[in-house]
Amino acid sequence: LLKQCGILQSTSEARRLHSWIAKTGLDRDPFFANNVVQMYSRCGSIDEAARLFDEMPGRDVIAWNAMISANAQSGRSDQALELLLLMDLDGVHPNSVTFLSALEACTNLSDASRGSKLHTEGMLGSGIENSRKVSNALINMYGKCRELGRAKAVFDGMSDRDTVSWTTML
């Protein structure tokens, strides 16, 4: 139901469902808390998602990813990248989903400098850079930031290219 409310982007239904979850006490369960944050994020209620996120006692990578992604997708790219820094300070390690959202934020800002820093300091050596989705996001980010040499270097380093890889390079 939580996912469906997010897909339908029905804020009123999301609030109704959240109210029921709170009444049952399930909102204290990390699984439900994360899903409620994601539901509000998908509904475009970023401020409501942020309020709940801020109230969460133990935020895991899923909660951080929900907020970073929501901010990147709603045009709040600087906030998304700020959350990435706070995530690091909180001692939560990013995963490929985190980097995909952070790269989207860098692309939105046309900020090759921060994107390159994510690439070299955050991903290299972690195995994340071997993810085809992350590599495609890097190619996209570098390409849109007019760093074609870097885009080509990522493309050339890919062992498993797909249609997205080739299309993005074109």
On whether the CB atoms of residues 83 and 104 are closer than 8 A, the answer is no
| 149-166 pLDDT, tens digit each | 999 999 999 999 999 999
Helix axes 61-73, 96-109, angle to 10 degrees: 20
Is residue 72 within 8 A of residue 104, CB to CB? The reply is yes
pLDDT category, 19, cuts 50, 70, 90?
Answer: confident
pLDDT, greater one: 124 or 46: 46
At residue 131 the predicted structure's pLDDT band, cuts being 50, 70 and 90, is confident
CA separation for the pair 137, 165 (Å, rounded): 9
Q: Show the CA angle centred on residue 102, arms to residues 71 and 143, nearest 5°.
A: 115
Is the confidence at residue 3, as pLDDT, over 60? no
Render pLDDT for 80-124 as a digit per residue (tens, 0 to 9).
999 999 999 999 999 999 999 999 999 999 999 999 999 888 776
Task: Kindly report the average pLDDT of the chain as a whole number.
Answer: 87
Torsion, CA 94, CA 97, CA 98, CA 103, rounded to 10: 130
Close Cβ partners of 119 (under 8 Å, ≥ 6 residues apart): 129, 138, 154
Q: What is the value of pTM for the model shown?
A: 0.84
pLDDT of amino acid 142: 97
> Which tops the pLDDT comparison, 123 or 74?
74
C-alpha 74/C-alpha 28 separation (Å) is: 27
- 37, 58, 82, 114 from 105: Cα distances, Å: 19, 25, 10, 10
Give 34's DSSP letter. H
